[in-house]
Amino acid sequence: MKYSVIIPAAGQGKRMKAGMNKQFLELRGEPLIIHTVRLFVHDASCQKIVLVANRDECVMMKTLMEKYQLSKVVVIEGGEERQDSVRNGLAYVEEEQIVLVHDGARPFVTDVVIKRLIHKAAKSGAATVAVPVKDTIKRVFSGKVIDTLKRDELWLIQTPQAFKAPLLKEAHKRALEAELIGTDDASLVEWLGHEVVISEGDYQNIKLTTPEDIVFAEAIMQEKERRKS
Ligand SMILES: Nc1ccn([C@@H]2O[C@H](COP(=O)(O)OP(=O)(O)OP(=O)(O)O)[C@@H](O)[C@H]2O)c(=O)n1
Ligand SMILES: C[C@](O)(CO)[C@H](O)COP(=O)(O)O
């Protein structure tokens, strides 16, 4: 099934504490964003990659796409919040298509996970990749536990998330009008009252957020290279 993907990469990477946008940090000698974009460049079903960059990083992103010969990529300007960046990206997506949203900071999603997700979204309209929570999760207030949540109902939500394009456009439009900000795109669709289906993900599909994630990322890359050879 054909699809387009929006890759928000217009953050600051503050929690990474690298003094620069983490998208440009190198993993195995190549910028993080290159690893992520390449996943979709090599997928024949992917029609268009909308790469959302900070205003002052658009030229750098375009130069990188040329340097690594990554086709199908349109670089556009992001917004203040991740949600603003995704909304800007939606303007470049055709109405009839399935659209994926995938964090620039998640370079390890696999083809299998992407295909399964698209299949689910084509049927239901909205789906997100997720994995079951492994730890016990408690709700805490003022340093005191107030509740222990039922673990078998809890999932860690990742990206990509996939939607019928008109549905995600409507969710973003309505969220903007209502001044609602969600930490992911699926939550906006949920808020519209539309069902979002879970699609099984992969624990290696980490988001590089804090410095220790670089260590995990290097280990995942090493393991992937070992399996290939
Ligand atoms: N205004 C924003 C904020 C975030 N993102 C992107 O959304 C993804 C997930 O966000 P996160 O991991 O939180 O990245 P940052 O916002 O860069 O990190 P931080 O919150 O630590 O500054 C990242 O690929 C990031 O570049 C974006 O496109 N536009
Ligand atoms: C979309 C996301 O990756 C799902 O886990 C996450 O919510 C992004 O959150 P962030 O605060 O922008 O890192």
Tell me how far the alpha carbon of residue 229 lies from the centroid of ligand 2, in angstroms: 33
pLDDT at 163 over 90: yes
Q: Is this complex scored with an ipTM above 0.90?
A: yes
Predicted confidence band at 125 (pLDDT cuts at 50, 70, 90)? very high
Residue ranges of domains in the chain, CATH in brackets: 3-228 (3.90.550.10)
- Residue 229's pLDDT is 85
Ligand 2 atom 13, closest CA: 209
Provide residues with CB under 6 Å of ligand 1: 8-15, 22-23, 52, 78-82, 85, 103-105, 207, 209
Determine if the pTM surpasses 0.90. Answer: yes
4-27 confidence digits (pLDDT tens):
999 999 999 999 999 999 999 999
pLDDT at 201 over 90: yes
Beta-bridged to residue 53, according to DSSP, are 77
Ligand 2 atom 1, closest CA: 184
Going by C-alpha positions, the residue among 152, 142, 150, 111 that lies closest to residue 129 is 111
